[in-house]
Amino acid sequence: MKISELFQTKSCVFSIECFPPKQTTQFAAMQQTLRRMKELSPDFISVTYGAGGSAGGVSTVEVADFLQKELGILPLAHMICMGSDKASAAQLLDKLRAAGVSNVLALRGDRTPLRPESPNFHHASDLMAFIRESAPDISVSGACYPEGHPEAPTLLQDVANLRHKQENGAQHLVTQLFFDNGHFYRFLNMARKAGITLPASAGVMPIVRRSQVERTVALSSASLPSEFTRMISRWQDDPESLHKAGIEYAVNQLRDLIEGGADGVHLYAMNDAAVAAEVYDGIRDLLPEA
């Protein structure tokens, strides 16, 4: 099934993101985590990019295969431009298709010393065009940024660039995480005015540990509203209270998005099934039944 088809039948699509473990010995534990996440009835689970192989770790294909065949959950497999070329991209697509995976999230990927620039895919839209031409049976999703991509000169220019993803075959969008819903509503309004008609899943990450503020939030480039910074300042030295406050913040954010008409909500759960379950309990009454 194509993920884009879910939005034709549901008022709000609920999804979760996971990432492959860095060690193969951790895969069994991750499988248990995913079994617990299945109990939350996600419409799909996205799997971030993991190469696996001789470098160690578990690949995106392995996780997607487990989700689909063992759990019966629709997977959205990430593919990135960085460190890839047409030959390796075609090989990965073959592996995904062999596993029965029919949905891919095409991304540029972060620039790191270990991943050289792609000779063929300078932007995610280039990879999307390649997938559309070489694997037309694969449904492609794309990323979007409610506050604008960090490298874009303006939000308006970033929205204009988003049209290239739609024109090159994207059928669904997933946003970068954000903490102020006003940014999402403004972005979506600009996108619709620019002719972007794709359904968009709004990405939310529960911040339940101080380390997440120092690492994840900083890397995301998301702005922090005063309500959020007050929460962190008040509870940063009280782990239990910060956990509760972080769950409450995420739940309130998601409830507002669902009630505000978001096409979908996407939970960046950081492979934490317990956190995902706490958040789900706070929004399940608003989600449409399967």
The residues annotated with a catalytic role in the active site are 17
- Please report, in angstroms and rounded to a whole number, the separation of the first and last CA atoms in the chain: 15
Contact 224, 256 (CB under 8 A): no
Give the Cα separation of 56 and 58 in Å (integer).
7
Query: Is the Cβ–Cβ distance between 40 and 16 less than 8 Å?
Result: yes
Inter-axis angle of helices 124-134 and 86-98, nearest 10: 60
* E strand spans, the chain: 13-18, 44-47, 75-80, 103-107, 139-144, 170-175, 200-204, 264-268
For 255-288, the DSSP string reads: HHHHHTT-SEEEEE-TT-HHHHHHHHHHHGGGSP
66: DSSP letter: I
The span from the CA of 264 to the CA of 269, in Å, is 15
